[in-house]
Chains A and B, each alone.
Chain A
């Protein structure tokens, strides 16, 4: 249910204000739209607010955006509850969005989910007690060629399986930042064992 439940144990901050540099960015977004159409900037501003506020949007931030854009607050709540990329509850430092849509599922996303649950001891939609990790199941992230995938905050980790998922979690726990992209080290979405075509590049002077 998306209704705001005051009894939920979410500590809402009482106020929210953009930092000076974010305020400048916000004004730049607003300036993109003609006068009287400021409301168009609601999505970038909510995103900016979420990034500033530990990757989740408190009510105060939605209100601040509404007041800034001169739109009724309910209109901002509608937008923020519609888009799944806005988190309306606090999330962990590492926000795991695990894709389980058909291509990822066929390539073993069940294993990835199981590895996350086992390693972190929390279920989908939950946050670890230390506030480091949140698991979320999402629909297609659009990187099916390198399935299965987890999006950690803004970074994609691809070609995962159970073992590499656990290794990823370990690395993050140690405070490291594993290289983004395919964990099998393939170049973007080129074939896993290296190129299978265009091996002879003599026609282009032999250079890759």
Chain B
């Protein structure tokens, strides 16, 4: 533990701390551009120069390890002069175009030029000009502004694991780019926009949209995958303009996926903003009164067992609970939140959670991926797996079709029979699992949403028990969800009640005419044709598959428009917050159900969000533990049975279009065209 003195203040820091971090810990801010705590140290911007006593020159504090007895001055004349000099050099080739730069107002260089800049330039030669690069539909470049901090290169190389970016040329001719023109093929690539300390890399879809000081900022959570990334939603005048990551060390650190960041232009398109009622085969605009009237009229005389409800992937916990209780009041046992038919067992919480937790991945030493393609299903989890791999001593194996996950994976096989071999110990990898101290497995929805899903779940549980994954001190059994609503739905019991049918059962009953009324709470991923002649009510925010099939459409709120509870794949309960109001006549989802219940004469007993949330905690105490991941008791789940030979199929075919919001987003459509399945690559014509 080195002890050093910074500006006369003595401080003791852990070994390995840099001088810059020590200064920060002592409460002295040191200006810097290239240094980033999550990236390797480059030491090339020189902005962090400080004076060290007995050193002949100012030192780059970001690259200097703190040592015992150092005496550092961050604000001495020498240090200040050094930084003024560095700033002058940085500004030699930097265009003074702040008024037309998207970074203006939140630019490190702009801020620090205020502190260390000179009030006029002494450089009278021409500034250099650099050709802009094409980094694809998400990242706009203005390479004249680049100060060569290389943060983007280090991010692409280290965190994203896609070594496409580099610095070519030398000296004044140095350029950041891909050399051979290509777009950045990473699901996390847009994080370089946040990392760029200047305006060289900015968000293309957000170009010239707003200035940071015009935006209202709301802290919320993302629902476009099951990770629950913490985000900040920036809005102006009733419209969400951008989504930025918010620090949460336990989940997303400070990264978010490109979909989380840029699917927001889908929030203003294809929106349901008034209720619709189908008249003469066509959906016609209606009032809430008429829409509720139509539902009440259709439900009159329909017995409970002929009614069913399905919850979709983006549904919040409050509205799912309200719908569940409305169904109970109507006497219907048929409800399911697993619209993809995954064989998740709601009886044991440990059986459907990512028990290791995302941060816990960093403790594991062996990982087995079963029917999951985490790079698409949860890019943030994949980044954490890569981070663990970079630390060394981590072996990853996979069962499924081989994919590039940005770290080496030993692909053991394609389907459940390989899993069965592992359980039986007939596979060499079984030894590796046995020898591991903290082994983990990740079970994807691709392994569960099959006919033999319950048997696969049982196999995975047996493997986990046999390989010491289900111990007192370590739970290595993980289910990776793809839907933000799934864990919440299972936690509050939005599953078939006694003698109720599951998704497959509901659909086949609809085909046979045994169910004549279906309530879809944002459920769009089912085969609408199988709903047969049933009367369908669709409550949701986008005119997607469900709304097209519906007989009555009730316009709800998207995740940026409501205060709502979500549970991520780890079982972490988080609150999303309203950034803007729902458009037009659309309403908060739980209030729609509450209002409908009154029309149906089965009034739900909560009048405000607080009461509903209190009730949520009564239903499952886990909803009272915000942002925690309590350990779940191990139990029996899955069903012993025969598995089929059919290989696992990954649940996501197109990373950029997985839900009604991203399907409505033009930016995501462009990404899908460039990177998604069937994308044209550089070798096409």
A4 close to chain B: CB less than 8 A: yes
B167 close to chain A: CB less than 8 A: yes
Q: Which residue of B lies closest to A59 (CB)?
A: B180
Would you call B163 and A3 a contact (CB within 8 A)? Answer: no
Q: Which residues of B contact A77 (CB under 8 A)?
A: 166, 168, 179-180
Given A1-B130, A1-B173, A2-B169, residue A81 in contact with residue B163 (CB < 8 A): no
Q: Which residues of B contact A4 (CB under 8 A)?
A: 179-181
Given A2-B173, A74-B164, A75-B166, residue A81 in contact with residue B130 (CB < 8 A): no
Would you call B179 and A82 a contact (CB within 8 A)? Answer: no
Would you call B166 and A3 a contact (CB within 8 A)? Answer: no
Q: Which residues of A contact B181 (CB under 8 A)?
A: 4, 6
Would you call A81 and B169 a contact (CB within 8 A)? Answer: yes
Would you call B170 and A3 a contact (CB within 8 A)? Answer: no
Would you call B168 and A78 a contact (CB within 8 A)? Answer: yes
Within 8 A of A (CB), among B165-183: 165-170, 173-175, 177-181
The CB with the most chain B CB atoms within 10 A, among A1, A3, A78, A81, is that of A3
The CB with the most chain A CB atoms within 10 A, among B130, B170, B178, B180, is that of B180
Quick one: CB contact mask for B66-103 with A, threshold 8 Å, 1 for yes?
Answer: 00000000000000000000000000000000000000
B681 to nearest A CB, angstroms?
15
B133 close to chain A: CB less than 8 A: yes
Q: How far is the CA of A2 from the CA of B180 in the complex (A)?
A: 11
Q: Which residue of A lies closest to B180 (CB)?
A: A4
Would you call B165 and A74 a contact (CB within 8 A)? Answer: yes
Q: Which residue of B lies closest to A84 (CB)?
A: B170
Within 8 A of B (CB), among A68-99: 72-75, 77-78, 81-82, 84
With an 8 Å Cβ cutoff, the count of chain A residues facing the other chain is 15
Would you call B165 and A82 a contact (CB within 8 A)? Answer: no
B367 to nearest A CB, angstroms?
22
Q: Which residues of A contact B180 (CB under 8 A)?
A: 4, 59, 73, 77
Given A59-B180, A74-B178, A81-B179, residue A3 in contact with residue B167 (CB < 8 A): no
Q: How far is the CA of A82 from the CA of B418 in the complex (A)?
A: 48
Q: Which residue of B lies closest to A82 (CB)?
A: B170
Q: Which residues of A contact B177 (CB under 8 A)?
A: 3
Q: Which residues of A contact B178 (CB under 8 A)?
A: 74
Q: How far is the CA of A72 from the CA of B179 in the complex (A)?
A: 12
Contact count A vs B, C-beta below 8 Å: 49
Q: Which residues of A contact B170 (CB under 8 A)?
A: 81-82, 84
**Partner among B133, B164, B165, B168 whose Cβ is within 8 Å of the Cβ of A81:** B168
B131 close to chain A: CB less than 8 A: yes
Would you call B179 and A74 a contact (CB within 8 A)? Answer: yes
Q: How far is the CA of A59 from the CA of B130 in the complex (A)?
A: 22
The CB with the most chain B CB atoms within 10 A, among A2, A59, A77, A84, is that of A2
Q: Which residue of A lies closest to B129 (CB)?
A: A1
Q: Which residues of B contact A84 (CB under 8 A)?
A: 170
Given A2-B173, A4-B179, residue A74 in contact with residue B130 (CB < 8 A): no
**Partner among B131, B163, B175 whose Cβ is within 8 Å of the Cβ of A74:** B163
B537 to nearest A CB, angstroms?
53
Given A77-B179, A82-B169, residue A3 in contact with residue B164 (CB < 8 A): no
Q: How far is the CA of A36 from the CA of B179 in the complex (A)?
A: 25
Given A1-B175, A3-B179, A4-B181, residue A78 in contact with residue B167 (CB < 8 A): yes
Quick one: CB contact mask for A3-20 with B, threshold 8 Å, 1 for yes?
Answer: 110100000000000000
Within 8 A of A (CB), among B130-173: 130-131, 133, 163-170, 173
Q: Which residue of A lies closest to B176 (CB)?
A: A3
Q: How far is the CA of A114 from the CA of B216 in the complex (A)?
A: 66
Q: Which residues of A contact B175 (CB under 8 A)?
A: 1-3
**Partner among B130, B131, B163 whose Cβ is within 8 Å of the Cβ of A75:** B163
Quick one: CB contact mask for A44-75 with B, threshold 8 Å, 1 for yes?
Answer: 00000000000000010000000000001111
Q: Which residue of A lies closest to B165 (CB)?
A: A74
Would you call A72 and B133 a contact (CB within 8 A)? Answer: no
Within 8 A of A (CB), among B468-512: none
Q: How far is the CA of A191 from the CA of B96 in the complex (A)?
A: 56
A86 to nearest B CB, angstroms?
11
Q: Which residue of A lies closest to B174 (CB)?
A: A2
Q: Which residues of A contact B167 (CB under 8 A)?
A: 78
Given A74-B178, A74-B179, A77-B168, residue A1 in contact with residue B131 (CB < 8 A): yes
Q: Which residue of B lies closest to A81 (CB)?
A: B168
Q: How far is the CA of A77 from the CA of B178 in the complex (A)?
A: 9
Would you call B131 and A3 a contact (CB within 8 A)? Answer: yes
B184 to nearest A CB, angstroms?
11
Q: Which residues of B contact A1 (CB under 8 A)?
A: 130-131, 169, 173, 175
Q: How far is the CA of A60 from the CA of B177 in the complex (A)?
A: 19
Q: Which residues of B contact A2 (CB under 8 A)?
A: 168-169, 173-175, 179
Quick one: CB contact mask for B176-204 with A, threshold 8 Å, 1 for yes?
Answer: 01111100000000000000000000000
Q: How far is the CA of A81 from the CA of B130 in the complex (A)?
A: 16
Would you call B173 and A74 a contact (CB within 8 A)? Answer: no
A74 to nearest B CB, angstroms?
4
B453 to nearest A CB, angstroms?
39
Given A2-B175, A4-B180, residue A72 in contact with residue B163 (CB < 8 A): yes
Q: Which residues of B contact A82 (CB under 8 A)?
A: 168-170
Q: Which residues of A contact B169 (CB under 8 A)?
A: 1-2, 81-82
Within 8 A of A (CB), among B563-579: none
Q: How far is the CA of A82 from the CA of B173 in the complex (A)?
A: 9
Q: Which residues of A contact B179 (CB under 8 A)?
A: 2-4, 74, 77-78, 81
Q: Which residue of B lies closest to A78 (CB)?
A: B166
Given A59-B180, A81-B170, residue A3 in contact with residue B165 (CB < 8 A): no
Q: How far is the CA of A74 from the CA of B168 in the complex (A)?
A: 9
Within 8 A of B (CB), among A109-141: none
Q: List 7 A-B contacts (CB under 8 A).
A: A1-B173, A1-B175, A2-B168, A2-B169, A75-B163, A81-B179, A82-B168
Q: Which residues of A contact B (CB under 8 A)?
A: 1-4, 6, 59, 72-75, 77-78, 81-82, 84
8 shortest A-B CB distances, which residue pairs?
A2-B169, A72-B163, A74-B166, A81-B168, A77-B179, A78-B166, A2-B168, A82-B170
> Can you add 5 more A-B contacts, CB < 8 Å, to A74-B163, A74-B164?
A1-B175, A2-B173, A72-B163, A74-B166, A77-B179
